[in-house]
Amino acid sequence: MIEPIVQLSCISKVYNGSYAVKDLDLEINKGEIVGIIGPNGAGKTTALKMIVGLIAPTSGTLTVMGKDMQKYGLKIKKSLGYLPEENALYENMSAQEYLGFFANIYGLSAAESKKRGSALLESLKLEVGKKLIGEMSKGMKRKVSIARTLIHDPDLLILDEPNSGLDPLTSFFIIDYCKKLREQGKTIILSAHNLFHVEYICDRVAIMKNGKLMVFDTMDNIRKSLGKREFQVVFKTDEKLDYERKEGNYSVTTPNIEEMADLLRKVSDNNWALVDLAIKQSALEDIYLDIMSDEKKV
């Protein structure tokens, strides 16, 4: 039996009598990417901060790498990499100086620091020369923050909105970079508002609302249990039929597989030209909006 690298059991966090997170149960396995999504105020950042030991739960049990975070937090943090939503950078330093500063905190030698820092900047395609961080673009600063998160080669990465506010090209680069980190054996927990990116990269997805966990499963299972499936048949004929017509073709969309089969038989029997046959599955965004609009549907 595989022991989860992160386990939250009935975790709650209360501020001034109100729950920021309530009875949260999560088990995250080594080598997977888990996305936590939800509207502002859902409890995503609070959950991530509890996992990295920045804030303590009000109740419940939290273990990371098999150890209780409250008892062994300092030791655990040496194997964690945390990227907050906002870049916390020293803008009067160069990227190399900044990475060296944090490498020293983690106990890396000067030689190790230089070697690892240079390798990270290269892998992130960040050519900065002697430019100071304060002179860099937002995308470059985010890459420096990611390099800092990785400088001590942590096994577990906690990324809060890793591509927030970035241009589409830089944003997708960072998402693809996370996939490469998973291939290296890293475990990644991230929060994000871009649901396309979450669907593209994550092995499992946790959906939170008002501090509560609504759904936690693979995308395939989420689609099967909460999504919708539709069949689309596109065909061509000169006959006038009572179907929707687009660009000279008839297009029929139905959730009913028997209705689709009947139409395909009709197309074949009448020698109409079949142009396209497609199965459309609900995207994560559709399922997410449905959950947010009606909690009772979950």
Domain with 248 in it: what CATH number?
A: 3.30.1490
216, 276: one domain:
no
48, 90: one domain:
yes
- Rounded-to-integer distance, Cα 275 and Cα 243, Å: 15
78, 150: one domain:
yes
What pLDDT shows up at residue 3? 75
What pLDDT shows up at residue 296? 47
181 occurs within a structural domain? yes
* DSSP-assigned letters across all residues of 125-165: T---TT-BGGGS-HHHHHHHHHHHHHTT--SEEEEESTTTT
Angle at 86 between CA 84 and CA 91, to 5 degrees: 115
Closest CA to 159 of 52, 32, 66: 52
200, 264: one domain:
no
Give the SS3 label for residue 113.
helix
Position 1 confidence tier, pLDDT thresholds 50, 70, 90 = low
Q: For 218-263, write each residue's pLDDT tens digit.
A: 999 998 889 888 899 999 999 999 898 988 899 999 988 899 999 9
Mean pLDDT throughout 73-83?
Answer: 92
What are φ and ψ of residue 241, in 5° steps?
A: -125, 160
248, 179: one domain:
no
Please report how many Cα atoms fall inside a 13 Å half-sphere around the Cα of residue 265, on the Cβ side.
6
217, 260: one domain:
no
What pLDDT shows up at residue 295? 53
219, 251: one domain:
no
76, 54: one domain:
yes
Q: What is the pTM of this model?
A: 0.84
Domain boundary pick from 196, 224, 252: 224
Domain that holds residue 237: 229-281
- Rounded-to-integer distance, Cα 171 and Cα 194, Å: 10
69 occurs within a structural domain? yes
59, 153: one domain:
yes
Number of domains in the chain: 2
Mean pLDDT throughout 124-148?
Answer: 92
291 occurs within a structural domain? no
Quick check: 195 and 285 in contact, CB under 8 A?
A: yes
268, 191: one domain:
no
Place of tokens 């396995």: 29
Mean pLDDT throughout 157-169?
Answer: 90
Residue 96, pLDDT > 60, answer yes
Position 298 confidence tier, pLDDT thresholds 50, 70, 90 = very low
276, 179: one domain:
no
User: Which of the residue ranges 108-112, 217-221, 293-297 would you say has the lowest mean pLDDT?
Assistant: 293-297
What pLDDT shows up at residue 130? 83
What pLDDT shows up at residue 239? 92
- The residue length of the chain stands at 298
46 occurs within a structural domain? yes
Q: For 14-70, write each residue's pLDDT tens digit.
A: 999 999 999 999 999 999 999 999 999 999 999 999 999 999 999 999 999 999 998
Position 297 confidence tier, pLDDT thresholds 50, 70, 90 = very low
201, 276: one domain:
no
1 occurs within a structural domain? no
244 occurs within a structural domain? yes
Give the SS3 label for residue 201.
helix
β-pairing verdict for 156-160 and 187-191: parallel
Number of Cβ within a 10 Å radius of residue 211: 22
